[in-house]
């Protein structure tokens, strides 16, 4: 919690001073892609994120995406700042040793509706395995209509036993069932049982 607040303050300070003190290191990939005033603000955000130990590659990508889609500067800076906050929250939940790919996937899961506590539980259960695919599958399940808490319970139920291929097959099967008309929750329950994940973490169907 303290880390998240600190990150916010660093980013806010970077934004406030960005237009007056363009001392931030310039990201070469942004050259020629963003108007100078926007680039200065994005560089300041990148500096702040770098200082906080966050991966900056996703932030650069987000700025380039905005530029590619001809978004105005305010939208681009807002999007980069929001992502920086999500990366910070994901890193706090997953721990300092998490890889950039894990933090990025965690941020995506948080945006989809997962809770920081879910990511932390996933990290604890997969201490020696990557959580990148698991977090991405969590977000994918929410996207097909599974309530976030149910999706999180299912992904956590598989955390100890499933490898990445199992997670992806599980997600693919749920998505296929839903496309054929099954309700997302029913598809999840059936596939989770078939995958061997109906443990105490996910006790099967529940009351609505």
Partner 1 sequence: MLDAGVSSVHFDGFLTSGSAYLAPAFRFNSPSFTLAAQGSYIMFESGNTVLQGTGAGAWLTPAVGPLRGEIAALGGVSRYADAPTAGYALARARTHLLGRTVGAWIGGSYGRAYAAAVSYRVGELSAGAWAARRRLGAAVAVTWSSAADSAYLDLTGTVRWTPWVIQVDALLGVRTWSQGGGEGTYGQVDARIPIDRRVALLVSAGRTPSDYVRGMLASKYVTVGMRLIPFPGPVRPAAALTDVLRREARPPDVSPAATAPLLAIATGDGEMRTLRIRAPGAQTIEIAADFTDWQPLPLLRTGGDTWEITLRVPAGTYRLDVRADGGPWLAPRGTRLERDEFGGEVGILVVW
Report the interface residues with partner 1, using CB under 8 A. 29, 58, 61-62, 64-69, 71, 75-76, 78-79, 82, 100-101, 104-105, 108, 111, 113, 132-133, 136-137, 139-140, 142-145, 147-149, 164, 168, 178-189, 205-208
| Closer to partner 1 by Cβ: residue 20 or 70 | 70
| Closer to partner 1 by Cβ: residue 75 or 160 | 75
> What is each CA distance from 72 to 18, 20, 62, in whole angstroms?
17, 20, 13
Nearest to 59 by CA among 77, 75, 71: 77
Q: Kindly state the smallest distance separating residue 67's Cβ from partner 1, in Å.
A: 7
Q: Residue 46 CB: number of other CB atoms within 10 A?
A: 24
C-alpha–C-alpha distance, residues 85 and 62, integer Å: 13
The answer to whether 103 touches 60, Cβ cutoff 8 Å, is: no
Beta strands in 37-190, from DSSP E residues, in sequence order: none
Q: Kindly state the smallest distance separating residue 95's Cβ from partner 1, in Å.
A: 18
Q: Kindly state the smallest distance separating residue 53's Cβ from partner 1, in Å.
A: 18
| Closer to partner 1 by Cβ: residue 18 or 189 | 189
Q: Kindly state the smallest distance separating residue 39's Cβ from partner 1, in Å.
A: 15
| Closer to partner 1 by Cβ: residue 21 or 183 | 183
Q: Kindly state the smallest distance separating residue 21's Cβ from partner 1, in Å.
A: 26
| Closer to partner 1 by Cβ: residue 21 or 72 | 72
Classify 114 in phi/psi space as left (phi over 0), alpha (psi -120 to 50) or beta. beta
Q: Residue 17 CB: number of other CB atoms within 10 A?
A: 15
Q: Residue 174 CB: number of other CB atoms within 10 A?
A: 29
């Amino acid at each position: 919690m303290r880390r998240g607040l600190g990150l916010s303050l660093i980013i806010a300070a970077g934004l406030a001073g960005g237009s007056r003190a363009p001392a931030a290191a310039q990201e070469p990939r942004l050259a020629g892609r963003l108007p100078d005033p926007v680039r200065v603000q994005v560089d300041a955000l990148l500096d702040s994120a770098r200082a906080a130990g966050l991966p900056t590659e996703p932030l650069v990508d987000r700025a380039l995406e905005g530029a590619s889609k001809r978004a105005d500067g305010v939208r681009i800076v807002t999007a980069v700042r929001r992502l920086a906050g999500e990366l910070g929250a994901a890193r706090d939940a997953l721990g300092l040793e998490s890889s950039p790919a894990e933090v990025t996937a965690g941020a995506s899961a948080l945006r989809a509706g997962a809770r920081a506590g879910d990511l932390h539980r996933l990290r604890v259960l997969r201490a020696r395995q990557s959580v990148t695919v698991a977090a991405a599958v969590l977000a994918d399940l929410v996207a097909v209509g599974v309530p976030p808490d149910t999706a999180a319970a299912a992904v956590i139920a598989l955390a100890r036993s499933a490898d990445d291929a199992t997670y992806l097959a599980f997600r693919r099967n749920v998505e296929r069932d839903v496309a054929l008309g099954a309700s997302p929750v029913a598809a999840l329950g059936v596939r989770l049982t078939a995958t061997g994940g109906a443990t105490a973490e996910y006790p099967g169907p529940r009351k609505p």
